[in-house]
Amino acid sequence: MTDQNTETSEETVVDETAETTQATAEASAETPKAEAPQLTELEKARAEALDMKTRYLRSMADMENFRKRMARDKQEIIRSAAASVIESLLPVLDNMKLGLQAADNHPEAKDVTIGFKMVDDQLKSALKDQGLDELIPDGEDFDPNLHECIAHQPSDEIAEDTVIQTVRAGYRLNERLIRAANVIVSSGPAKSE
């Protein structure tokens, strides 16, 4: 709200400056060239002060815009840095998931599996706090902006263009896609020939 008040007052000052300049120009135009009025020292000082004030307000507005732009750029740099670190961790998440799936087939490794599952949950939680969202679109409509179709499969139960299975999870960081989910998509009921 303060920015709007500042902008409004700056616009008012600029408008007043323009009106004053226009009024001075009109007054000069009305008097003949031979009898050009001499500005008094006070009028010159006022005109100069008004000009300086206008320059000052414009400089302040430029500085405020620069400050806001720098803050946005800084946030973007921080997000980019986080994205590269998180992208390097995605294969770790994939391998952890594959390891846990393989461990499910070995009941003798149940205690170790529980420990690794806790580590996997903790890693996912830490990455979620940094803005990472996992995309597992099973049962959702296929979206080419978020999903990569690696196969079509006929299905009588699942509607056409619906994701049947997620082969590899996708990830989004702060609403920016960093890896599309690899999915198998339904092609609808099998067509008999």
Give mean pLDDT, residues 151-156: 89
Residue with structure tokens 């994205």?
Answer: 83
| Token output for 177 | 């896609």
The whole-chain average pLDDT of the chain stands at 82
Give mean pLDDT, residues 81-87: 84
**Hey, what amino acid is at 164?**
I
**Hey, what amino acid is at 190?**
A
Residue 7 has pLDDT above 60, yes or no: no
Measured CA to CA, the distance from residue 82 to residue 132 in angstroms comes to 10
Residue 3 has pLDDT above 70, yes or no: no
* Contact between residue 181 and residue 166 where contact means Cβ atoms under 8 Å apart: yes
How does residue 6 score in pLDDT terms, banded at 50, 70 and 90?
very low
pLDDT score of 131: 86
Residue with structure tokens 């226009």?
Answer: 22
Can you list the domains of the chain with their CATH numbers? 134-193 (2.30.22.10)
pLDDT tens readout for residues 129-147: 888 999 999 989 999 999 9
Which of 18-27, 50-59, 61-70, 141-150 has the weakest average pLDDT? 18-27
pLDDT score of 105: 85
Residue 37 has pLDDT above 80, yes or no: no
pLDDT score of 9: 47
Measured CA to CA, the distance from residue 49 to residue 17 in angstroms comes to 11
